[in-house]
Amino acid sequence: MTKFVHLTHSLDFKTGGVVEAVNRLNEEFSKANMSSAITAEPNYSGRESVIAHGLWQWPSYRAWKNFKKTGVSYVVFPHGMLDPWFKRTYPIKHLKKQIYWWLVQGKIMRDALAVCFTTEEERLLAQKTFTPYQCKEVVTGLGVAEPPGEAEQQVELLHNQLPQLKKKRVLLYLGRFHPKKGVDMLIGSFLKDCREDDILLLAGPTEKQDSFLKGLIKQTDGKENQIVWSGMLEGDLKWGALRAADSLILPSHQENFGMVIAEALSVGTPVLLTDKVNLWREVVDSKAGIVANDDQAGIDQLVKKWRAGDSRFCVENTISCFREKLHISKTVDNIISFFQESKA
């Protein structure tokens, strides 16, 4: 039996989506009766097939050094870290990374058994960021498992905590409040021609308020009947929100995958997103949501179409999109097959 090990720079879920993705992949490997483990040990050395998560830190470097020492193959998941958005937004950091690419990271990519992309869009964007770009590309996908819990109980739990959502049309944003997420534009769009029965539910961490988040909160002053801040929703509360929402919106200026998109589709909730969320091709192909340009006019269009009820025509396609394209078991099958074929 092939044994796998995931190398990740952290095991702390607060560090972001990469850790969550690694944990979900590890769980799915176990469900497939494969030996799989996660380590955040920078000095890792072993004989397992290595899946290195992320660039610029020790996991991919350690996988490469282990390959040089033992001959054990490895694959690398960039998790969006090759997106040219970072090159445009942080040009000084990009120059430093380009030097590291020449010295080390480019060689790591070149020698990998494969570089695994979560979407076709991520693969295409990755080709535009660093030079020379030499690697074996493969789109393995990513995603989530079947949604947990009982739907009615989860929705009831949400309504008990947020009773103002009952009998309302809810547009849900679920995620961090960072400038690249486009929430400032979303709030502006939603408050135009707002209807009495429409609610924008903003669900995400609000404990630590930086200047951007304070600006968002000020933007919604006096609009408590239209915009609800719930704080972070986790577990059954999160799933209750995904189920109760009329649609989920992700107006990001850059988003490698958007795990919440897969979660929403898994419970039959249509999605609205910009064309800078890398899952947009899969959503359009499946007719499971609505995609618009990444600008104020585009986000205005998404909200306008939601108010007109256009997203409801996508409901019947949501579950099939999830099961055919975004179920994490398919990702694991792809990875296992790739390693097995390389040994044949």
Asked whether residue 103 carries a pLDDT value surpassing 70, the answer given is: yes
Residue 269 to residue 314: CA distance in whole angstroms: 9
Digit-coded pLDDT (tens) for 161-184: 999 999 999 999 999 999 999 999
Work out the pLDDT band at 316, boundaries 50, 70, 90.
Answer: confident
Among 242, 154, 255, residue whose Cα is nearest residue 203: 242
Which residues have C-beta within 8 Å of that of residue 274, sequence separation ≥ 6? 182, 250, 251, 252, 253, 280, 291, 292, 293, 294, 298, 299, 302
Asked whether residue 1 carries a pLDDT value surpassing 80, the answer given is: no
Q: Which domains does the chain have, with CATH numbers?
A: 3-144+327-343 (3.40.50.2000), 151-326 (3.40.50.2000)
Q: Could you give the strand order of the β-sheet that contains 289-292, starting from the edge strand earlier in sequence? A: 227-229, 198-203, 169-174, 247-250, 271-274, 289-292
pTM of the model: 0.90
3-state secondary structure string across the chain? CCEEEEECCCCCHHHCHHHHHHHHHHHHHHHCCCEEEEECCCCCCCCCEEEEECCCCHHHHHHHHHHHHHCCCEEEECCCCCCHHHHHHCHHHHHHHHHHHHHHHHHHHHHCCEEEECCHHHHHHHCCCCCCCCCCEEECCCCECCCCCCHHHHHHHHHHHCHHHCCCEEEEEECCCCHHHCHHHHHHHHCCCCCCCEEEEEECCCCCCCHHHHHHHHHCCCCCCCEEECCCCCHHHHHHHHHHCCEEEECCCCECCCHHHHHHHHCCCCEEEECCECCHHHHHHHCCEEEECCCHHHHHHHHHHHHCCHHHHHHHHHHHHHHHHHEHHHHHHHHHHHHHHHHC
Average pLDDT over residues 92-109: 96
Least confidently predicted of 13-17, 54-58, 130-134, 247-251: 13-17
Asked whether residue 75 carries a pLDDT value surpassing 70, the answer given is: yes
Q: What is the pLDDT of residue 116?
A: 95
Q: What is the pLDDT of residue 161?
A: 95
Work out the pLDDT band at 206, boundaries 50, 70, 90.
Answer: confident
Of residues 198 and 338, more confidently modeled: 198
Among 176, 177, 181, 236, residue whose Cα is nearest residue 212: 177
**Average pLDDT of the residues of the chain:** 92
Asked whether residue 219 carries a pLDDT value surpassing 60, the answer given is: yes
Average pLDDT over residues 313-324: 89
